[in-house]
C-alpha cells in the first residue's frame, strides 16, 4: 500500500511531490511565504500533476484518499484501469492540479461538477483544496451564495421527514459517535438542511451519494472545522469546464457533468459529447486574441474524454509567430 502522506493539500505542498505534467510553470505558491506576503495570490491554478506506480493491493479509492482526490476524479483520470484492481505496476495518474473555478476568490468555493472545495483562507496564499461528496439525483446540492451560520463539534444527525418516509427504519436522531453519518464535525450553512460535514462512510467522497449535504473525509473536515470561522462566505457553483492561461499556454480542464458522473464512476467513460455553443463561447472568450491558435480537434477530444485535469490546447499568438 502507498505510504500515507501527512500533508496539507495546498499548492505549495504539492510542488514538493513528483511532477507529471511537463512544461507547466511553477506556481507563485511555491515561492515561499516571504514573497506571498508581498502580493495577493493571483495564479489561475494550484498544484501539479503527479503519478504513482500501483502495488498489488492498491485501489483507486485508497490511492485517491492518500493524495486528497475523490473517486470520480480518479476514475476520470484513469479510465482504462479497473478502479478496484488496477494491478501491480500500473501507472496511476493523480489529478492534483486544478484550474480555479470562475468564482470570487474568497471564503469557501465549492464546484459541484468537480466535487471539490476550495478555501481561500487569506488573499495572499493559494487556496486549500479538498475532495467532497455531493447530493445525488433528485437531491442536488444547491447552487448559490450563503455563509457558515454555525459550527458543531460532535453533531447530532436528525433525519428529515423525507428520509424517514423513504426508510422508516431510520432513528429519530443519531448522537455523536462512530455510527453518526455526519462524522465528527459539521459546518452548517444558510441553505436549509445543508451542511459541510464529515462522514462515517469515506468511500462516498468524490461521489454523488448525499441528500444534498457536502461530505468530507474525516481527516479533512477536522482541518476545515479548525480553519473556517462562522460567518465565512460560501459560494457554490457548477462548472464542468474550466480554462486558464498558465504562462504562455492555454489549458482546458473538463470534468463530467453531474449527470455524467454516475456513468463515469461505473464505466470509466461517458457517451460521445459534442462541444456546445456555450462551451465554444467560453473557450474562445478565455483564449482572447489567441483564438486562432486554438487546436479544435484536441479541444473536442478533451471535452469528449473529460479526464478532469488541465490539458494544453493553445499557445499565445505572439509565441507561435516567434517560432516560425
What value does the mean pLDDT take over residues 43-48? 97
Q: Which residues contact 281 (CB under 8 A, 6 or more apart)?
A: none
Pair 280, 215 in one domain? no
Domain boundary residue, one of 61, 76, 99: 99
Q: In which band, very low, low, confident or very high, does the pLDDT at 210 lie, cut at 50, 70 and 90?
A: confident
Q: What does the CA dihedral 112, 107, 210, 193 come to, rounded to 10 degrees?
A: -130
Answer yes or no: do 197 and 128 share one domain: yes
231 occurs within a structural domain: yes
Within a domain: 135: yes
CA-to-CA distance for 37 and 17, rounded, in angstroms?
23
Query: To which residue does cell 501527512 refer?
Result: 6
List 47's β-bridge partners, or say none.
Answer: 97
Residue 32 domain flag: yes
Q: Are residues 233 and 245 in the same domain?
A: no
Task: Provide the pLDDT for residue 142.
Answer: 94
DSSP 231: T
CATH number at residue 194: 2.40.440.10
pLDDT band at 321 (very low <50, low <70, confident <90, very high): low
The C-alpha angle with vertex 142 and arms to 139 and 144, in degrees rounded to 5, equals 175
pLDDT band at 212 (very low <50, low <70, confident <90, very high): confident
pLDDT at 63 over 90: yes
Domain C-terminal end among 190, 206, 237: 237
Same domain membership, residue 231 and residue 158 = yes
323 confidence band (pLDDT: 50, 70, 90): low
Q: Please tell me the distance from the alpha carbon of residue 37 to that of residue 292, in angstroms, as a whole number.
A: 38
Q: How far from the centroid of its chain's Cα atoms is residue 84's Cα?
A: 21
How far is it, in rounded angstroms, from Cα 280 to Cα 299?
A: 10
- Give the largest Cα separation in the chain, rounded: 71
Confidence (pLDDT) at 319: 57
- CA 122, 210, 273, 21 torsion-angle sign: positive
| β-pairing verdict for 195-197 and 214-215 | parallel
Concatenated DSSP letters of 103-153: S-SSEEEEETTTTEEEEE--TTSPPEEEE-BEE-TTSPPPPEEEEEEEEEE
Residue 209 shares a structural domain with residue 137 = yes
Q: Count of CB atoms within 10 A of residue 95's CB?
A: 27
**Boundary of a domain, candidates 207, 237, 267:** 237
Same domain, 115 and 232: yes
pLDDT above 70: percentage of residues in the chain: 85
Q: What's the pLDDT score for residue 118?
A: 98
6 within some domain: no
Conformational region of residue 206, where left means phi above 0, alpha means psi within -120 to 50, and beta covers everything else: left
pLDDT at 196 over 50: yes
Say if residue 222 is in the same domain as residue 187. yes
Count of domains forming the chain: 3
Residue 150: what pLDDT?
Answer: 97
Cell of 35: 514573497
168 and 250 in a common domain: no
> What is the structure's pLDDT at 10?
41
pLDDT digits (tens, 9 = 90+) for 287-320: 999 999 999 999 999 998 999 999 999 999 765 5
Q: Beta-carbon neighbour count of residue 181 at 10 Å? A: 18
Same domain? For 136 and 227 the reply is yes
- Same domain for 70 and 122, yes or no, is no
The answer, yes or no, to whether residue 282 has pLDDT greater than 60, is yes
Residue-number span of the structural domain to which 264 is assigned:
241-323
| pLDDT 10s digits, 218-269 | 999 999 999 999 999 999 999 999 999 999 999 999 999 888 887 777 777 7
3 inside domain: no
pLDDT in tens, 102-149: 999 999 999 999 999 999 999 999 999 999 999 887 688 999 999 999
Question: Residue range 206-217: average pLDDT?
Answer: 91
- In the predicted model, what is the mean pLDDT of the chain? 86
**According to the model, what pLDDT value does residue 99 have?**
98
Name the phi and psi angles at 210, rounded to 5. -90, 180
> Mean pLDDT over residues 18-32, rounded?
43
pLDDT of 220 reads: 98
Q: Which residues contact 147 (CB under 8 A, 6 or more apart)?
A: 189, 190, 231, 232, 233, 234
pLDDT at position 138, please?
A: 67
Has residue 74 been placed in a domain? yes
Residues known to be catalytic: 197, 213
Identify the band that residue 206 occupies on the pLDDT scale cut at 50, 70 and 90.
very high
Cα separation, 167 vs 183, whole angstroms: 20
| Residues 200 and 253 grouped into a single domain | no
Question: Taking 70 as the threshold, does the pLDDT of residue 71 lie above it?
Answer: yes
Residues in the chain: 324
Residues 93 and 112 in one domain: no
The answer to the question of residue 2 being in a domain is no
Checking if the pLDDT of 36 tops 80, the result is no
Please report the DSSP string for 34-101 in residue order.
Answer: HHHTTS----SEEE--EEEEPPTT--HHHHHHHHT--HHHHHHH-TTS-SS---TT-EEEE--EEEPP
**pLDDT tens, position by position, 143-175:** 999 999 999 999 998 887 888 888 888 888 888
Amino acid at each position: 500500500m502507498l505510504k500515507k502522506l501527512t500533508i496539507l493539500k495546498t499548492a505549495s505542498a504539492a510542488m514538493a511531490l513528483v511532477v507529471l505534467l511537463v512544461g507547466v510553470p511553477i506556481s507563485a505558491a511555491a515561492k515561499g511565504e516571504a514573497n506571498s506576503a508581498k502580493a495577493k495570490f493571483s495564479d489561475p491554478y494550484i498544484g501539479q500533476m503527479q503519478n504513482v506506480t500501483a502495488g498489488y493491493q492498491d485501489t483507486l479509492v485508497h490511492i485517491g484518499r492518500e493524495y486528497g482526490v475523490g473517486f470520480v476524479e480518479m476514475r476520470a483520470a484513469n479510465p482504462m484501469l479497473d478502479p478496484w484492481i488496477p494491478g501491480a505496476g500500473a501507472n496511476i495518474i493523480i489529478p492534483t492540479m486544478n484550474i480555479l473555478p470562475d468564482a470570487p476568490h474568497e471564503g469557501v468555493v465549492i464546484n459541484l461538477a468537480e466535487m471539490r472545495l476550495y478555501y481561500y483562507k487569506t488573499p495572499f496564499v493559494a487556496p486549500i483544496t479538498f475532495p467532497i461528496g455531493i447530493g445525488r439525483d433528485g437531491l442536488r446540492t444547491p447552487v448559490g451564495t450563503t455563509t457558515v451560520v454555525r459550527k458543531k463539534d460532535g453533531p447530532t444527525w436528525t433525519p428529515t421527514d423525507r428520509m424517514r418516509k423513504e426508510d422508516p427504519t431510520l432513528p429519530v436522531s443519531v448522537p455523536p459517535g462512530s455510527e453518526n453519518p455526519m462524522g465528527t464535525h459539521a459546518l452548517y450553512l444558510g441553505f436549509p438542511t445543508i451542511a459541510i460535514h464529515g462522514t462515517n462512510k469515506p468511500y462516498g467522497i468524490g461521489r454523488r451519494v448525499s441528500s444534498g449535504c457536502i461530505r468530507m473525509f474525516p481527516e479533512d473536515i477536522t482541518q476545515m472545522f479548525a480553519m473556517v470561522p462562522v460567518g465565512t462566505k460560501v459560494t457554490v457553483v457548477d462548472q464542468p469546464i474550466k480554462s486558464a492561461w498558465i504562462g504562455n499556454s492555454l489549458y482546458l480542464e473538463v470534468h463530467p457533468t453531474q449527470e455524467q458522473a454516475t456513468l463515469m464512476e461505473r464505466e470509466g467513460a461517458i457517451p460521445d459529447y459534442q462541444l456546445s455553443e456555450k462551451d465554444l463561447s467560453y473557450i474562445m472568450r478565455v483564449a482572447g486574441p489567441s483564438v486562432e491558435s486554438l487546436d479544435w480537434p484536441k479541444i473536442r477530444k478533451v471535452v469528449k474524454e473529460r479526464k478532469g485535469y488541465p490539458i494544453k490546447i493553445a499557445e499565445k499568438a505572439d509565441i507561435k509567430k516567434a517560432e516560425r
